[in-house]
Amino acid sequence: MRISTNQLFDRNIRSIMDNQRDLSETQNALSTGKQLNKPSDDPVGAAKVIRLTEELDKLEQYQRNNDLLTNSLEQQEAVLDNINNTALRARTLILRAGSGVINDGDRKAIGTELAQIRDEMLGMMNTQDANGNYIFAGHQSQTQPFVFNGGSVDSVTYQGDGGYNTVKLADGVNVQRSVSGQEVFENVFARRTFSIAGTPTATVEDSSIDSQQSFDAFSKANYDPVTPANNTFQLEITGPNQVELTNPNTGAVIGSTSFSASEPFSIQGMSFTLNGSPGDSVEFTLEAPQKKNIAETLHEISTILLDDTQPESAVKNAMDDALVGLDNGMEKVGLERSSVGGRLNIASSIYQTNLDLEIAAKDARSSIEDTDYAKASADFAKQEAALNAAMATFPKLANLSLFDYIR
């Protein structure tokens, strides 16, 4: 096979240029740390790198969301914890006021302190985050949720709504970020009570609730919000030593207990002292369940304690109402604290999972686009040797000519 001079020059020049190009690419990979510097270097690998980069950007956003959620939940947890502690302090003061060993001046002092605790409670219920948003206002985060009116009825008004926000922490995982004050503070039941109805034929010397838990169970099981007539019950003296509790409208017999005239007896958590003969009766009505937030409960009891014209029975009844209202409020706050703790645990678990996914995605992307320095260094040395050999041998080949042998 004959090779022309042009072919000889073209082949050698092409070989030198190829070696220079390979050497330049390897040098670029060593200097940038990337073996994939343009899509044409590896089209399939470039597409994978784009997908992995998008996945990493998404994971980074999820981690930022997680940080924001954690900060928000930790603030809520701290506020709810302080609210619970404040309510406990108020409860202790109310028990002290009802102990019977303090005078009217001390009772007024307790009323004044409870009014201050009410203001402190309202401040915590109106807590704002670092951005100035009210954390218990639902979707109305720019509106102060709880406003104190100072009246004897509906003294605290809620101006927020029942909405809440969620934050996306991972694909298909949304975690609740906020809670509505309507759910935590407004949706709290006040003490369930009853009242004597109509004109009894038996003499009612006293009536009260002696076991709130038993009465609440009775009220929850029997209160009818649709038919008011079903909420009236009758205690009838059926014999010299027995009374029977029935519902005249439905005909249901609730129960019976022993009875002695002018002696207290208990039935379904209620205590009665009656005087009468067999056939005499008394009717009472279950009051409709009411809802009242903690601040409103504190306002009512402080107002009663500061008013020295109130009879002792009214003060005692107000303290019973306040204690049950505080207990129910603290129970609601406790449930929300547990919910916040659960969400914090979820956020922590997802954060760790996202970190693992991020590490895996970075490793996968690195294996595609990052330079293997050991291999690249060896390739660079080999390509440099090939280029030097080509450049050294080309002049010798270029000088070969038949004219050199003609003498």
Beta bridge partner(s), residue 265: 272
Name the residue among 11, 47, 133, 42 with its Cα closest to residue 398.
11
Least confident of 154-163, 232-241, 388-397: 388-397
**What is the pLDDT, as a whole number, of residue 26?**
60
Residue 308: per-residue pLDDT: 85
**DSSP one-letter string for 240-291:** TTEEEEEETTTTEEEEEEE--TTSEEEETTEEEEEE--TT-EEEEEEPPP-B
pLDDT at 407 over 60: no
Q: Is the pLDDT of residue 387 over 60?
A: no
* pLDDT at 6 (0 to 100): 65
Q: Lowest-confidence range among 152-166, 348-362, 380-394?
A: 380-394
Please report which helix (H) or strand (E) contains residue 207, including its range. strand 203-209
DSSP 46-73: HHHHHHHHHHHHHHHHHHHHHHHHHHHH
Which whole-number Å values give the CA distances from 238 to 17, 205, 207, 243, 247, in the listed order?
118, 18, 19, 5, 15
Percent of the chain scoring above 70 in pLDDT: 79
Tell me which of 377 and 51 has the higher pLDDT. Answer: 51
**225-260, pLDDT tens digit by residue?**
999 999 999 999 998 889 999 999 999 999 999 999
User: Please, is 208 exposed, middle or buried when counting C-beta atoms within 10 Å of its C-beta (0-12, 13-18, 19+)?
Assistant: middle
The residues near 3 (Cβ < 8 Å, ≥ 6 apart) are: none
| CATH of the domain spanning 56-190+295-355, picked from 3.30.70.100, 1.10.260.40, 1.20.1330.10, 3.40.190.10 | 1.20.1330.10
For every residue of 149-191, DSSP letters joined together read ---SSS-EEE-S-S---EEEEETTEEEE---BHIIIIIS-B--
Tens digit of each residue's pLDDT (9 = 90 or more) over 58-111: 999 999 999 999 999 999 999 999 999 999 999 999 999 988 788 888 999 999
Share of the chain above pLDDT 90, in %: 65
pLDDT at 221: 93
Examine the pLDDT at 397 and tell me if it is beyond 70: no
Q: Phi and psi dihedrals of 313, rounded to 5?
A: -65, -40
292: three-class secondary structure by DSSP: coil
Cα–Cα distance for residue pair 169/158, rounded to 1 Å = 31
How are beta strands 270-275 and 203-209 bridged, if at all?
A: antiparallel
Q: How far apart are CA 146 and CA 24, in angstroms?
A: 71
Q: Is 262 left (phi over 0), alpha (psi -120 to 50) or beta?
A: left
Distance CA 245, CA 265 (A): 12
The alpha carbon torsion through 259, 265, 267, 271 (nearest 10 deg) reads 140
Q: How confident is the model at residue 44 (pLDDT cuts 50, 70, 90)?
A: confident
CA 406 to centroid of chain Cα atoms: 100
Residue 380 — pLDDT band, cuts 50, 70, 90?
low
Among the listed ranges 9-13, 201-205, 358-362, 365-369, which one has the minimum average pLDDT value?
9-13
Closest CA to 379 of 15, 24, 37, 14: 24
Q: Of 190, 198, 142, which is closest to residue 321 (Cα–Cα)?
A: 190
The domain spans of the chain are 56-190+295-355, 196-286
